[in-house]
């Protein structure tokens, strides 16, 4: 049996290294090459709100201080804003909540398989809401896990990743991907299709369907389920994204190498 690939996280994204040294980009890293205009707008609005609040607070504080020059004001405002962007802080917070919820789901599913697991993770209020949503979904369906948090890869198409769950759901072999995002985004269907194809290439039975289950992080929301309408069509689109990522990554490496060469010449 082939050993599991080793996961590597770099500045260029997440990669998996197979036992023969082959290095494959993760599915999520490949999909990151798709532009997301809505996220750019969200980040810009969040940063705008942060700057406005910080400027208003500084203006209030200045009432008890001597007047500042424009450069001093901007310098003080910059220090208050800090080096970390507002959207990065929000993203990190969301990732922490999502990771905790995913860990609880993984613990439950592995326990159901009879696997040895560490103690159940402790959950904060938001992660607990997400986990409760998963429990509600699982209670409504006959979920029989087969493979949980499984590392999969495709040598033929050049990618790898980690699945959330392969299970019999109401008697149908289903690849399930859990999300704790605010919505189910279109590229999630491509991710599921890629995992289904990789499992098939590795010799496992082909999943009859792909399913995305969004488990929300607030008590006033309910989970959302999306079944991938056509796995083959979604995989065809994913292959185009792989082609785009491969081109972009190669060009980025050439650009970095050229920059390093110019820097070396300047130092010499």
Most confident of 3-17, 149-163, 203-217: 149-163
Are 230 and 196 a contacting pair, CB within 8 Å? no
What is the model's pLDDT at position 90? 42
Q: If you average pLDDT over each of 32-36, 43-47, 75-79, 195-199, which comes out highest?
A: 195-199
- Tens-digit pLDDT profile for residues 46-72: 566 777 776 777 677 776 666 777 777
Helical pair 37-62 and 70-81, crossing angle rounded to 10 deg: 120
Does position 93 have pLDDT exceeding 70, yes or no? no
State the pLDDT at residue 63: 67
> In terms of CATH architecture, what is 10-34+119-259?
3-Layer(aba) Sandwich (3.40)
Residue 206 has pLDDT above 60, yes or no: yes
Mean per-residue pLDDT, 85-94:
45
Name the percent of the chain lying above pLDDT 90. Answer: 43
CA distance 266 to 55: 41
In terms of phi and psi (left: phi > 0; alpha: psi -120 to 50; beta: otherwise), the region of 170 is left
**With bands split at pLDDT 50, 70 and 90, how would you rate the model's confidence at 258?**
confident
Tell me, yes or no, if the pTM score tops 0.85: no
Long-range contact pairs involving 131-136 (C-beta distance under 8 Å, separation at least 24): 131/101, 131/104, 131/105, 131/215, 132/219, 133/215, 133/216, 133/221, 133/222, 133/223, 134/101, 134/104, 134/105, 134/108, 134/178, 134/213, 134/215, 134/223, 135/108, 136/222, 136/223
Residue 203 has pLDDT above 80, yes or no: yes
pLDDT at 92 over 70: no
Nearest 10 degrees: Cα torsion 172, 178, 179, 185: -30
- At 101-160, the pLDDT tens digits run 888 889 999 999 888 778 888 888 888 888 888 898 999 999 999 999 999 999 999 999
Domain ranges of the chain: 10-34+119-259
Instruction: Tell me the C-alpha distance between 155 and 242, whole Å.
Output: 13
């Amino acid at each position: 049996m082939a050993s599991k690939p080793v996961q590597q996280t770099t500045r260029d994204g997440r990669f998996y290294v197979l036992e023969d040294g082959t290095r494959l980009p993760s599915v999520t890293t490949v999909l990151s090459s798709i532009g997301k205009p809505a996220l750019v707008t969200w980040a810009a609005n969040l940063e705008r709100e942060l700057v406005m609040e910080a400027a208003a607070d500084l203006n209030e504080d200045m009432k008890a201080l001597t007047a500042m020059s424009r450069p001093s004001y901007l310098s003080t405002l910059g220090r208050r804003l800090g080096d970390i962007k507002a959207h990065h802080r929000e993203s990190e917070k969301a990732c922490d909540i999502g990771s905790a919820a995913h860990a609880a789901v993984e613990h439950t599913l592995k326990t159901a398989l009879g696997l040895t697991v560490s103690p159940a993770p402790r959950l904060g209020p938001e992660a607990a809401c997400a986990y409760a949503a998963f429990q509600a979904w699982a209670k409504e369906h006959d979920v029989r896990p087969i493979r949980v948090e499984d590392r999969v890869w495709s040598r033929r198409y050049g990618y790898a990743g980690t699945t959330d769950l392969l299970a019999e759901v109401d008697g149908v072999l289903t690849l399930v991907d859990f999300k704790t995002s605010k919505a189910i985004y279109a590229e999630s269907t491509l991710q599921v299709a890629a995992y289904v194809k990789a499992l098939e290439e590795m010799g496992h039975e082909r999943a009859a369907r792909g399913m995305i289950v969004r488990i929300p992080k607030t008590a006033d929301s309910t989970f959302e389920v999306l079944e991938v309408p056509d796995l083959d069509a979604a995989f065809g689109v994913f292959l185009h994204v792989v082609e785009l990522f491969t081109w972009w990554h190669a060009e980025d490496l050439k650009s970095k190498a050229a920059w390093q060469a110019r820097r070396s010449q300047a130092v010499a």
